Amino acid sequence: MNVPPTNEKKLGLWTSTSLVIGNMIGSGVFLMPATLAAYGGISVLGWIFSAIGALLLAKIFSNLSIMMPSSNGGPYAYSRKGMGDFAGFLVAWGYLISTWCTNAAISVAFVGALSTFLPVLAVNNLLAVTFGLGAIWFLTWINTLGIVTSGKMQLLTTLLKLIPLILVCIGGLFFMDFNNFIPFNMSGTSDFAAITATATLTFFAFLGMECATIPSSSVANPEKTIPKATMMGTIITTIIYITSSISIMGMIPASALQKSVTPFADAAAIIFGPGAVYWVGGGVAIAAFGTLNGFILIQGQVADAMATDRLFPAIFSKINKNGVASSGIIIGSVIVSMIMVMNYTKGLASQFKFLILLSTLTVLVPYLFSAASYLLIKMQTKTQSGSWWSASILASLAFMYSLWAVAGSGQDTVYWGFMMLMTGIPIYVWMMWNRQIK
């Protein structure tokens, strides 16, 4: 029998909050201003719309964490409680697929960021693969040392990645030219279409808001810590996203911003001089490194939760001497390594990009199922009518927003993402058969 860790060996409020912020703010956000520049200032409204949806979902996860404070797996545990084993399995299987693909993409982004300091990484695939694998396996080792060690690494990298973001957010406000926001809508489409398009793009920057709920049993006072960490992390991230977009769009004309491959570095150079390019590049590398650490932790926790409930092979819940389900972390990192290498292999690079695209849907399904499960679990608890109506409104809004996000990911993504989810059915059938014969 595993001895539950004491509070001294658990994640506190700030490490849990850093898991939320760190997993949401990856390297991709550093490119977002350039992506949105084609739409003009109206993209800020897209940020606000997607932030509202993210906050609705964050509230769902906060409330669920209070109702089920020690349920490992977050969205998996909630979906299983509300909708049964099969729904829980689909959520967890999709989440694992998404996490493995995301970690591979983050590894590639980390190597790309390092190329600012080591240009050879941009032309030497063997060296790039070596650095990428080195990052994956160093952080895999860190995560096998214990949840507290993982949490400290997450807190450190989150603080370091926030420094360049905050400096640009605040400093940029003093260099803004409001003429850069004119015309407000540059997309050539209606305001509604432009807001919808930018909200779809920006919503994916909020993926990861649920991460504090996943290692629930490893969080001190989870019924208080997790809801606070989830809401604080989402709110802080929202403020940084919106403020940084306003600052950068106000500093750099849209025509130039659209062509920029390093919008944050360009903005930092305006504020602090040419040398700022390097510390922003360092911030991008740290952002990728920290996010990779957070999601390696998550990939082990989700697989462990499934295996503990006998919905995944038992090896994924095998505990090492540090009290960590290390086998799941290691197996997951083997898969991540294989996917990452595909990006640097001629003939497989297109398959790598295809896998990353399809993983989009598999991370949206947990949001959809969690919103529905929240209402179902609320019905099971038989609470007062007042809380029932507020829960109904919250669940309905979060569910509709999640459904909109799924639809917005595109027909091909939905179809192939659904097919990826179905690949887990043989595993589910096998596990159910094993349950019966035992």
Residue 210 lies in a domain: yes
Average pLDDT on 285-292 reads: 92
Residue 279 lies in a domain: yes
- Rounded Cα distance between 317 and 304, Å, is 4
On whether the CB atoms of residues 75 and 95 are closer than 8 A, the answer is yes
Instruction: Report the range of poorest mean pLDDT among 15-24, 244-253, 347-356.
Output: 347-356
Residue 1 lies in a domain: no
The dihedral through the CA atoms of 227, 60, 336, 203 has a sign that is negative
Residue 172 lies in a domain: yes
Range of the domain at 67: 8-437
CATH number of 217's domain: 1.20.1740.10
Percentage of the chain lying above the pLDDT 90 cut? 51
* Backbone dihedral angles phi then psi of residue 11, each to the nearest 5 degrees: -80, 135
Residue 289 lies in a domain: yes
Q: Express each pLDDT in 53-90 by its tens digit.
A: 999 999 999 999 999 988 899 999 999 999 999 999 99
Domain count of the chain?
1
- pTM as predicted: 0.89
25, two tokens:
């703010």
Residue 93 lies in a domain: yes
User: Does 307 score more than 90 pLDDT?
Assistant: yes
Q: How many CB atoms lie within 10 A of CB 16?
A: 30
Residue 3 lies in a domain: no
Residue 231 lies in a domain: yes
| Alpha helical stretches, state H, 252-275 | 254-259, 263-272
- Rounded Cα distance between 301 and 21, Å, is 18
* Backbone dihedral angles phi then psi of residue 101, each to the nearest 5 degrees: -65, -40
Q: Express each pLDDT in 314-366 by its tens digit.
A: 999 999 998 899 999 999 999 999 998 988 887 666 666 677 666 777 888 89
User: CB under 8 Å to 190, separation ≥6 — which residues?
Assistant: none
The count of C-alpha atoms lying within 13 angstroms of the C-alpha of 415, restricted to the half-sphere facing its C-beta, is 3
Which residues, listed in sequence order, are joined to residue 11 by a DSSP beta bridge?
Answer: 219
